Structure 1
Amino acid sequence: MACNDTHVALNESTPPIGSHYTAVPVPLRIVLVIIMVFMIAIGFFGNAIVCLIVYQKTAMRSAINLLLATLAFSDIMLSLFCMPFTAITVITVNWNFGAHFCRISAMLYWLFVLEGVSILLVISVDRFLIIVQRQDKLNPHRAKVIIVISWVLSFCISFPSVIGWTFVEVPARAPQCVLGYTELPAARAVAVTLVVAVFFIPFSVMLYSYFCILNTVRRNALRIHNHAESLCLSQVSKLGLIGLQKPQQVNVDMSFKTRAFTTILILFIGFSLCWLPHTVFSLLSVFSRQFYYSPSFYSTSTYILWLSYLKSVFNPVVYCWRIKKFREACMEFMPKTFKILPKVPGRTKRRIQPSTIYVCSETQSAV
Structure 2
Amino acid sequence: MARSLRDHATGSQEREPRSARTRDGRGADAVVGIDVGGTKILGIVRSADGGVLARVRRKTPVGGNAALAAAVAELVGELLEQAAATDRTVTGIGVAAPGFIDSRSGVIVDASNLGVRDLPLTGGLADRFGLPVRLVHDVRAATVAEATFGAGAGVANFAYVNIGTGVAAGFIFGHRLYTGTSGKAGELGHVVVDPSGPACTCGKRGCLEAFASGAALDKLAAEATEAHPGSLLARSLATRRQERGHVAALAKAASEGDALAAKILSQATSHLGLVVAGLVDTLALERVVIGGGLGRLRAEIFEPLRGVALGAVLEANRAPRLITMSALGADVGAIGAALAARRGMEPVLEEVT
Give yes or no for TM over 0.5: no
Higher strand share: 2
Higher helix share: 1
After TM superposition, the score normalised by the length of structure 1 is 0.30
Q: Which has the higher contact order (CA 8 A, sep 6+)?
A: 1
Larger Rg: 1
After TM superposition, the score normalised by the length of structure 2 is 0.31
